[in-house]
């Protein structure tokens, strides 16, 4: 079964409401997967260099669930933040499937580029919207100084990379308009 949030409706409450309605309509559902578009927190110095078009798959990290509630934390002395919430660990069946998929990707090429080519050939209107947006548009700025760009190694392929990591859930919605000179 597939469901989605209403157009331009965001947030954990909407997602929970949608999931609850789905479960009440189809009580035999045992596992739900959340799929969406998000903003990854790139950490190139830690081997997590998320790029435009990349695919982030959540996995548990250091005993926590695979999705950490980023903006629910306890303030500790010394201006430190201690995370106080995360989703439960995924079921073993999903963790085993993730392990098998990762192992397969070590042996074989990903099928994602093939799926994208097929989507583009069968849906010409989607081809332009979901095409690689160009290396020049894949920029990362320092969180501490939004005017300072982070230098990263150039990529030689437009194919999406798949990264596995704990993902953060940010309930606070940030919306901003960049000055014209930053958009170009």
Q: How many residues does the chain have?
A: 184
DSSP per-residue string spanning 73-131: EEEETTTEEEE--BPPPPPHHHHHHHHHHHHHHHHS--SHHHHHHHHHHH-HHHHHHTS
Q: How far from the centroid of its chain's Cα atoms is residue 120's Cα? A: 22
Q: Is the pTM of this model over 0.85?
A: no
Per-residue pLDDT of the chain (184 residues; tens, 9 = 90+): 788 888 887 777 788 888 889 889 998 988 887 776 665 566 777 777 778 788 877 777 666 666 666 555 666 677 676 665 666 677 888 888 888 988 998 899 889 889 988 988 999 888 888 888 888 888 888 877 888 888 888 888 888 888 776 665 555 544 445 554 554 4
Residue-level pLDDT at 37? 65
User: Which is it for the CA torsion 153, 157, 160, 161, positive or negative?
Assistant: negative
CA atoms of 110 and 161, how far apart (whole Å): 9
Residue-level pLDDT at 183? 44
**54, 162 Cβ separation under 8 angstroms:** yes
**67, 166 Cβ separation under 8 angstroms:** yes
Residue-level pLDDT at 85? 61
Residue-level pLDDT at 93? 87
Residue-level pLDDT at 83? 61
Q: Where are the domains of the chain?
A: 31-183
């Amino acid at each position: 079964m597939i469901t989605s949030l209403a157009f331009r409706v965001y947030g954990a409450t909407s997602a929970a409401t949608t999931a609850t309605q789905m479960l009440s309509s189809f009580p035999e559902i045992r596992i739900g997967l959340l799929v969406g578009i998000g903003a990854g927190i790139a950490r190139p110095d830690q081997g997590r260099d998320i790029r435009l078009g990349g695919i982030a798959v959540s996995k548990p990290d250091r005993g926590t669930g695979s999705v950490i509630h980023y903006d629910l934390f306890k303030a500790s002395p010394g201006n430190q933040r201690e995370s106080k919430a995360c989703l439960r660990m995924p079921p073993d069946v999903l963790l085993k499937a993730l392990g098998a998929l990762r192992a397969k990707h070590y042996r074989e090429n990903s099928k994602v580029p093939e799926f994208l080519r097929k989507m583009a050939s069968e849906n010409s209107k989607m081809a332009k919207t979901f095409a690689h947006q160009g290396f020049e548009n894949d920029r990362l700025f320092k969180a501490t100084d939004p005017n300072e760009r982070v230098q990263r190694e150039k990529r030689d392929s437009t194919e999406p990379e798949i990264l596995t990591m704990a993902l953060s859930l940010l309930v606070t919605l940030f919306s901003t308009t960049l000055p014209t000179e930053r958009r170009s």
